[in-house]
Every structure is written in structure tokens, then in C-alpha cells.
């Protein structure tokens, strides 16, 4: 039983998804790399819709790392409480802002290795910032990307880092960033965690899950 698609089939999957979701792009609202960094930290275990409602108010008041530091953890936690995990996120954001001021002249670095040094910034957040703020090819593996890519056969890994590595190996570099958004859109609309809409799926003819599970149930 095949566990991964061929590169040819993988490219066909991406082409089909591009036609299915022509407007696939980042759903977090931001106007610069610093705002995207804050929004992405807030998005952990929270919907983009909820984050956007929070940052719509937050970004009008707080513009720079110094603004957040001056506000302090307690007051920031109150402003972001609707995003969940407010105390932890507030602490990470304040400490990240302190580090930005002390080590990067208040600017968000455009290096993966430097980004992941910031509190609250893991592989996913770093790749989101690189891809969407700096237009540097990257694949951010969130819950949707992890589920969809392993389900359809673009990846075969039990870890986020392994999935990222698989995707980088099977998808051309110039398509990494777009692929990230396509997989998220597909995960939200069709390839859901529970009860995926396999019969409505535009890529079911290539999908290994569909071939190995859904079709077998019909036989």
C-alpha cells in the first residue's frame, strides 16, 4: 500500500487545489511583519476570525514593541483574553518585544533561526512570518496542513517537523508558500478532522485516504 504520492501526483494535487481555491491566502489581518508576528502568536489554539477581532482593536493602540512593553503583561492579557491562553501569550509577546528591542533594533528578523529564538515563536509561527511578511518560501505546518498532507499522501509522518520535511521534499520551493494556504483552505472546507467530505473532494482521485479507506468501504 502506497503511503505517499509520487511527485507527479503531488503536483497535480496542487494544481487542482489552486483551481478549487483561487483566493487562498493568509486569513490573519496585518499591515507589517510586526503585526503578523503578534497575530500569529495569538492564533495558537484560536481561530483567525477571533484573532482578527482582537487585533482590529489592539493594532490601533499598540504599534511598536515598546508600546507592548510599556503596557505590561497584565494589561495586555486583559486585551487579548478572548484569544485564550491570555496570560501565557501575553508573557511571550512582552518578552519577544523586549528581545526585539534589545537584539534587533525593534525590527522582526527575516531569518528562521533568529525568529525561533523569540519567546512564543516555534517552527509554524516562524514560517508563517517568513512566508507572508517577507515573501520567503516556507511551509508552516499547522493542524490543518498536518492532517490534510498526511491524509492525502503528500507526507507520511507522525510529527510536525517530519511533515514539513516531507512537504519540502515533494513540493517545488517556489510553491511552498502557496501550498500552505491551499492545504489550510482544503482542511477547513472539505478535508475536516471528523467526517471529511470525501465524495465532494476535488482531489479524491489522487487521495490515498480516499483510495485506501473510503473506496474500500464501498466494495
Distance CA 185, CA 145 (A): 9
Cα–Cα separations (whole angstroms), residue 74 to 21, 36, 81, 127: 41, 22, 10, 28
Instruction: Read off the DSSP letter of residue 212.
Output: I
Residue among 89, 124, 178, 206 flagged as catalytic: 124
Distance CA 51, CA 47 (A): 6
Termini Cα distance of the chain: 17
* Nearest-5° Cα angle at 133, 130 to 139: 35
**201 labeled binding residue:** yes
**207 labeled binding residue:** yes
For the chain, the residue count is 219
* Nearest-5° Cα angle at 185, 167 to 132: 65
**83 labeled binding residue:** no
Distance CA 176, CA 131 (A): 9
124 is annotated as an active-site residue: yes
Instruction: Read off the DSSP letter of residue 199.
Output: G
**198 labeled binding residue:** yes
Distance CA 105, CA 128 (A): 21
67 is annotated as an active-site residue: no
Residue among 142, 166, 178, 206 flagged as catalytic: 142
**Catalytic positions:** 124, 142
Please enumerate, by residue number, every residue annotated as part of a binding site for [4Fe-4S] cluster: 191, 198, 201, 207
Please enumerate, by residue number, every residue annotated as part of a binding site: 191, 198, 201, 207
Amino acid at each position: 500500500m502506497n503511503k505517499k504520492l509520487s511527485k507527479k501526483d503531488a503536483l497535480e494535487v496542487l494544481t487542482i487545489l489552486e483551481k478549487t481555491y483561487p483566493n487562498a491566502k493568509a486569513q490573519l489581518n496585518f499591515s507589517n511583519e510586526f503585526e503578523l508576528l503578534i497575530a500569529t502568536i495569538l492564533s495558537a489554539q484560536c481561530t483567525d476570525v477571533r484573532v482578527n477581532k482582537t487585533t482590529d482593536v489592539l493594532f490601533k493602540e499598540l504599534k511598536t514593541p515598546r508600546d507592548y512593553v510599556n503596557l505590561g503583561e497584565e494589561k495586555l492579557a486583559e486585551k487579548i483574553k478572548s484569544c485564550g491562553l491570555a496570560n501565557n501569550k501575553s508573557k511571550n509577546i512582552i518578552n519577544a518585544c523586549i528581545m526585539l528591542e534589545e537584539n534587533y533594533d525593534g525590527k522582526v528578523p527575516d531569518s528562521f533561526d533568529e525568529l525561533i529564538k523569540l519567546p512564543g515563536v516555534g517552527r509554524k509561527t516562524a514560517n508563517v512570518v517568513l512566508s507572508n511578511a517577507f515573501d520567503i518560501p516556507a511551509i508552516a505546518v499547522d493542524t490543518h496542513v498536518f492532517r490534510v498532507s498526511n491524509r492525502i499522501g503528500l507526507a507520511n509522518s507522525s510529527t510536525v517537523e517530519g511533515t514539513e520535511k516531507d512537504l519540502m521534499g515533494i513540493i517545488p520551493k517556489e510553491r511552498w508558500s502557496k501550498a500552505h494556504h491551499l492545504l489550510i483552505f482544503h482542511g477547513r472546507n472539505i478535508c475536516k478532522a471528523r467526517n471529511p467530505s470525501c465524495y465532494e473532494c476535488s482531489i479524491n482521485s489522487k487521495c490515498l485516504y480516499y483510495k485506501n479507506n473510503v473506496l474500500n468501504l464501498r466494495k
